[in-house]
Amino acid sequence: MFELSREHDELRATVRKFLARRSEEGTVRRLMETSQGYDEQTWQVMAAQLGLQGLAIPEEHGGSGFGVVELQIVMEEMGRALMCSPFLATVCWAVPLLLESGDAALAAELLPAVAEGSVTVAVAVQDGERATVAQRDDDGWTLDGSKRFVVDGASADRVVVLARTPEGPGLFLVDDAASLVRTAMTTLDQTRKQAALSFEQTRARPVGDVGAGQTVLDAAMVTARTLLAAESVGTCARMLEMTVNYAKIRHQFDRPIGSFQAVKHLCTRMLIDTELATSAAGAAGAAVDAGDDAAPLLSRVAAAATSDALESVAAEMIEIHGGIGFTWEHPAHLYYKRAASSARLWGSSSEHRSAIFDLAGATK
């Protein structure tokens, strides 16, 4: 069983202190109303002073060379604070894609820029109204089609796109994302922006081997899914904390509502669900760092556990808060919306369980 060290505790304390200043409720509410969805100065400070963007980037590419476990600590704290930033898309998804692609030249070009906070990268996978197709011509490759539900797609500097090719699915990098037709999507959780993208003879260059895109994407998703699970654990922990604190100060019949057995049971269930999710996410992170063959399976277990925990903990938070939990002024609805969104961002719990069944069968 992997155990966190004193250095891990110090990392957590540092990130929590930073986010207490940079991602308090007022800042979250302000940023969720903007089109960009995050604060560029905060993004720069994260890179220059804390080195968060480069935490798990190899040292030869300007990073610190740590692993997924360290990134999970950061993501847990971001989940607690509802951090508005392109960290999930850029650091947790695009970086693993570049590393898994085996494209050494592109990694040497992009990863140092990500580590220093000068570039953000989105990943576009789900097709929109038109399938995305890549075609080769004398000058390279062009993309035609559309994508939707692209996390931080409206603000990213560059976009990695999954597209159809004669050789099979391929990954392509659009260097000038600002030239795309990008439409912000109205989604439940406005603390995490999503966009629809349109490609019309858009110039792009291949990421890794053309035709190996799905294989690379599947491998990178093991890391990305594990990191989203860690963020979800942080969100659950904060919802539990808010709820227990409220149950201590809210009185009915001259007693704190937390003294009632029914409320105690609900809080206990929230704790159990959060602890199960924490264990599953931790096991997945350790497996990814160790290069364990079970990492794909454990990442799905973590995704299923955290998806279930997000839904149950969020619902019980609203139930215990009562009427105030429905009001715009209280932060409960912000966490509820993040929970509902993250629980389905890269698949529902039932989809993850179906994948677990397939993976378990494949390893027998």
- The number of residues making up the chain comes to 364
Q: What is the pLDDT of residue 335?
A: 97
Q: Using CA atoms, how far apart are residues 257 and 33, in angstroms rounded to an integer?
A: 35
Report domain extents, the chain. Answer: 6-120, 122-211, 214-362
Superfamily of domain 6-120: Acyl-CoA dehydrogenase/oxidase, N-terminal domain (1.10.540.10)
What is the secondary structure of 297-341 as a DSSP string? HHHHHHHHHHHHHHHHHHHHHHHHHGGGGGSSSSTHHHHHHHHHH
> How far apart are alpha carbons 74 and 11 in whole angstroms?
8
Catalogue the long-range contacts made by 258-264 (C-beta closer than 8 Å, 24 or more residues apart).
263/320
The dihedral built from the CA positions of residue 209, 211, 213 and 218, taken in this order, carries a sign that is negative
State how far the Cα of 244 lies from the Cα of 258, in Å rounded to an integer.
Answer: 7
Residue 256 CB-density burial (10 A; 0-12 exposed, 13-18 middle, 19+ buried)? middle
- Using CA atoms, how far apart are residues 42 and 101, in angstroms rounded to an integer? 30
What's the CA gap between 163 and 129, in Å, rounded?
14
How confident is the model at residue 362, as a pLDDT? 58
Give the pLDDT of residue 364. Answer: 46
Instruction: Give CA angle at 106 (103, 112), nearest 5°.
Output: 125
Q: What is the pLDDT of residue 58?
A: 96
Angle at 157 between CA 151 and CA 161, to 5 degrees: 55
CA gap 131, 199 in Å, rounded = 10
pTM of the model: 0.95
Side-chain half-sphere exposure of 291, counting CA atoms within 13 A: 1
Beta strand spans in 152-275 (E): 158-163, 170-174, 181-184, 194-206, 251-252, 255-256
How is residue 12 written in tokens?
A: 């957590």
46/23 Cα distance (integer angstroms): 12
Closest C-alpha to 78, from 189, 228, 223, 220: 228
CATH topology of domain 122-211: Butyryl-CoA Dehydrogenase, subunit A; domain 2 (2.40.110)
pLDDT at 2: 65
CATH number assigned to the domain covering 214-362: 1.20.140.10
- In order along its 364 residues, the chain shows pLDDT tens digits of 467 899 999 999 999 999 999 999 999 999 999 999 999 999 999 999 999 999 999 999 999 999 999 999 999 999 999 999 999 999 999 999 999 999 999 999 999 999 999 999 999 999 999 999 999 999 999 999 999 999 999 999 999 999 999 999 999 999 999 999 999 999 999 999 999 999 999 999 999 999 999 999 999 999 999 999 999 999 999 999 999 999 999 988 989 888 899 999 999 999 999 999 999 999 999 999 999 999 999 999 999 999 999 999 999 999 999 989 889 999 999 999 999 999 999 999 999 999 999 998 855 4
